[in-house]
Chain A
Amino acid sequence: MTPSEQADGRSPNRPRPVLDALSRAYWEGAGRGELAIQRCEECGHYQHPPRPLCERCASADFGYPAVSGRGVVHSFTTNHQRNVAGFEQAVPYVNLIVELEEQPQLYLLSDLPAGESDWVASGAPVEVVFEPIEAAEGEAIALPQFRPAGG
């Protein structure tokens, strides 16, 4: 898809996140331009989405440090089905799973900024960008998306 197609009304009208006690730091961090990933204060394990307990040591003591935002494409799909309200005009669009560089198997599901998607391939190095959105209660947050590293 081309940027002009996106400008022709193909940008999705996204479902808005309902922030909760576990997710607020992630979304508010994105609103500041930081990828804030839950990290166990006991053992240093990162996990995403945020969980009530550390999946490695069961600690409940967490921080949400900003990570580099760099990683590689683990896998991806191009969606053709009009199956998500707000994305009907956006098809075809890409979802990708990024493996963040901070830890093996630390995955983040995302999509792409409006524009070229031809570069997407398993193993491609990527970096985060942020698309401003509103959360359910109107909070100004942002959606982490990815583009080619150094692009």
Chain B
Amino acid sequence: MWAGRGKTAVVGIGFSQLTRTHERPLGQLAIEACRAAIADAGIEPSRIDGLATHPDQPFRGAGNRAGEDLVPAAFLIDHLDIGPEVEWYAQVSAGLIPSAIIEALNALMAGACTYALVWRAMHRPAGTYGAWREPFAGGDSQFTAPHGYTSPFQLHAVAYQRYMHRYGATREEMASLVTNSRANAQLNEAAFFNGTPMSIDDYLAARMISEPICLFDCDIPVEGCAALVLTTAERARDLPRPPAYVAAWGQHTAPRPTYVNYMLDDYMACGASTAGKLWSRSGLGPGDVDAAQLYDGFSPSTYYWLEAAGFCPEGEAHAFVQDGRIALGGELPVNTFGGSLSEGRLHGMGHIAEAARQVSGRAGPRQVEGAEVSVALDGSPLLRGGGLLFTREA
């Protein structure tokens, strides 16, 4: 068992407004989210002495100007009224936000800081998201772009097609997963699609992007920011809100092929590499989890996480998500906040915030009654993601 189990906690959560278009500089939204998280923690901003983020934007041509379309640590040092004595900061260069949170947890346990602020600020560009515009293709892109293959949804499409072929999964089955997330978003006022329900027929009628990926298999890109305040368990006990204790973290360390060849088996190997660390470090297992927040930048990723983390046998997630099993009140509530599919694309921060809320009893109308353990597993799982396991008790 990991010596760090229960030694750190999430004590504050804050979101900015999530908008579909770039109406305000991203830096303003980040300040809004960070101030909300600090206020939620019940501390003065001057107590923040550690900072961590993954500032990059996940598509070509964005992330050019601090405060406009990306928010690095230096921007918050300059513009947030935190203490003059920031002791430590980190910016992870690749991967989703778990890597930045893991840095902050380790810094807290090492005594490098006392209250750490972690944020993820996402820019939503004008025009077609992530389109390829260049006439030339170098590096690994020379093996993809000349064939018209450049986008994450295309990579996901071939792996999901393989999944459907191998296991006999259908789009009707996926409709259960996607509409479950949309239903949960109706209980989350911060969700972009709060107020916009989706029926099974709506899902099945959506236009195709790259078969079998349709529009509603893709998360909804938003402009916005989510932020967390983390501290040690000792300090957390003196704060006004119930803490969400960190029982374990995990990063995927499996060999990773070039994106030219992302295959179904690679998604599964990377997911197992990440989730396995959570179980071995915490002494807990998938059967202990009361609510699971499983990344859904594209909906098939949730299938891969369900299987790779051991919530169901390999090849059976498409059946597992039926019959209300993943709904609130079901055997394993999944993406209780709506997921990236319905809350908005915060690159995994929404999943972590929700896992923390569930174990601290702060999930409001979507609270899983008596939730003691909740997990957030971020990443495709192939992209360099990670996971966090939270518990109600230290």
Q: Which residues of A contact B (CB under 8 A)?
A: 12, 14-20, 23, 27, 48-49, 51, 55, 74-87, 90, 93, 95, 97, 105, 107, 109-111, 122, 133, 136, 143
| Chain A residues closer than 8 Å to B260, beta-carbon distance | 48-49, 107, 109
B134 near A77 with CB under 8 A, answer: no
Most buried by B among A15, A75, A109: A15
A17 to chain B: closest residue by CB: B142
A12 to chain B: closest residue by CB: B148
Do A15 and B132 form a contact, CB below 8 Å, given A77-B157, A109-B149?
yes
A109 near B261 with CB under 8 A, answer: yes
B148 near A18 with CB under 8 A, answer: no
Q: Which of A18, A78, A83 contacts B208 (CB 8 A)?
A: A78
A122 near B161 with CB under 8 A, answer: yes
| Chain B residues closer than 8 Å to A85, beta-carbon distance | 131-135
**How many A-B contacts if CB must be within 8 Å?**
140
Total chain B interface residues with beta-carbon distance under 8 A: 44
Q: What 1/0 mask marks residues of chain B from 255 to 277 whose CB sits below 8 Å from any chain A CB?
A: 10010110110000000000000
B364 in the interface, Cβ–Cβ < 8 Å? Answer: no
B234 in the interface, Cβ–Cβ < 8 Å? Answer: no
A90 to B149, CA, bound (A): 12
B144 in the interface, Cβ–Cβ < 8 Å? Answer: yes
Q: Which of B128, B142, B157, B263 contacts A18 (CB 8 A)?
A: B142
Q: 18 interchain pairs (CB within 8 A)?
A: A15-B134, A17-B143, A18-B139, A23-B142, A48-B261, A49-B143, A75-B162, A78-B208, A79-B157, A80-B210, A82-B128, A83-B128, A84-B150, A85-B131, A95-B147, A109-B260, A109-B261, A136-B138
Interface residues of B in 206-230 (CB under 8 A from A): 207-213
A90 to B132, CA, bound (A): 15
Most buried by A among B132, B210, B213: B210
| Chain B residues closer than 8 Å to A84, beta-carbon distance | 131-132, 145, 148-151
Q: What 1/0 mask marks residues of chain B from 121 to 163 whose CB sits below 8 Å from any chain A CB?
A: 0000000101111111111111111111111011001110110
| Chain B residues closer than 8 Å to A77, beta-carbon distance | 154, 157-158, 161, 210-213
- Counting from the closest, the 4 A-B pairs by CB-CB distance are A18-B138, A77-B157, A17-B142, A15-B145
A15 near B161 with CB under 8 A, answer: no
| Chain A residues closer than 8 Å to B145, beta-carbon distance | 14-15, 84
| Chain B residues closer than 8 Å to A14, beta-carbon distance | 145-148
A111 to B138, CA, bound (A): 18
A93 near B263 with CB under 8 A, answer: no
